[in-house]
Copies of this chain bind each other. A is one copy, B any other.
Amino acid sequence: MSQASKKSRPTMHDVAAKAGVSQMTVSRVLRGEGYFSQDVKTRVADAAKALGYIQNRLASVQRGMENPMIGVVLPTLKNTVFIDVLAGINDTLAEVGMRPVFGVSEYSEAEEETLVRDMLSWQPCGLILSGIEHTDGLRRTVAQSGVRVAEIMDVEGDAISASFGISQQAAGAEMARHFIAQGHRRVAYIGSQGGSDLRALKRYTAFKSELEAEGGCITYERIANRASSMPLGRELTAACLSDVTDCDAIYFSNDDLAAGGLMHCLSNKVSVPHGVALAGFNDLPFLSALPQRITTTHTPRYEIGALAARYVAGADDVPAKRHMLLAELVVGDTT
């Protein structure tokens, strides 16, 4: 009777019965709070272990304890960048005994709102969202819920409370100045994700206006609808170089595409950077294995995830504000 039946897992009552104490005492011992004798402590610990007791957090949280769970919404899993961010989030949360619940929005703000509503039903103590553009409903919902919210990747715009990312505009503009300095004035742009990647768009916009301000120009622009990948980059580059003969450089929205471009050039004996210069974005580790070092912008992806996680986990050394991390130009030999 006091033993849990086959069907239901043991509760504190079962542990209490086995240890010969009250259920409340079990609660205290297991949390290590309040007072209890050494004897009781070991009896309870033994009983819990013997029964294979596992805490029911739903009940604790329901009673007012903080839920060590963080809702995380990423735009996609197809881009390594977010995997790195995820790793940073997960590692950091794990350090303090918290876990992420996941959702993928596929770059849709409406879907993001739905996901957040859903996650809030588990009463997480924090939320990590991507980007800084959200629906009004989302903003209202999270404001009402009172959970901590971190927005990652982007810091340009109106943050809900804390944002962690880089300046996409500065990164784009810096690359434009580098192009100009290297004498690349006629530039093609190749992107993916059909323009739903708002951060790539911000970068490109800044790149373009800086380039034009410095006397350069965009001679070709192609933003494919598919997800970014090396094969896609190779394909788009082939198309670009056969369409346009008057560009001396290609700016890709990320490294996967740029690496694909480099592969095209390698396989087709297009000299880089003399035939055409190439640059990507992110500085993914695999670049260092390629035959040529692609010029790119290093982004602190893991750090962004880690910092955001520290914030939503309630670390008091991470204030709620705009955290702009450094994105550094990495000059390779493709420009």
Contacts and interface: CB of A to CB of B under 8 A. Distances in A.
Interface of A: 7, 9, 52, 54-59, 61-62, 67, 69, 77-78, 80, 83, 86-87, 90-91, 94, 97, 99-104, 117-123, 140-141, 144-146, 229-231, 233-234, 256, 259-260, 263, 266-267, 285-286, 288-291
A166 B258 CA distance: 33
B285 A266 contact: no
Number of copies: 2
A267 to B, nearest CB: 5
Contacts of A77: 83, 86-87, 90
A122 B120 CA distance: 14
A118 B55 CA distance: 9
Closest 6 CB pairs of A and B: A230-B289, A230-B286, A57-B121, A58-B58, A231-B289, A234-B289
Contacts of A123: 56-58
Interface centre among A62, A229, A259, A289 (most CB of B within 10 A): A289
A146 B57 contact: no
Given A87-B104, A97-B118, 19 more contacts: A9-B144, A52-B141, A54-B121, A54-B145, A56-B121, A57-B121, A62-B62, A77-B86, A78-B87, A94-B103, A99-B103, A100-B102, A229-B285, A230-B286, A231-B289, A233-B289, A234-B289, A263-B290, A266-B266
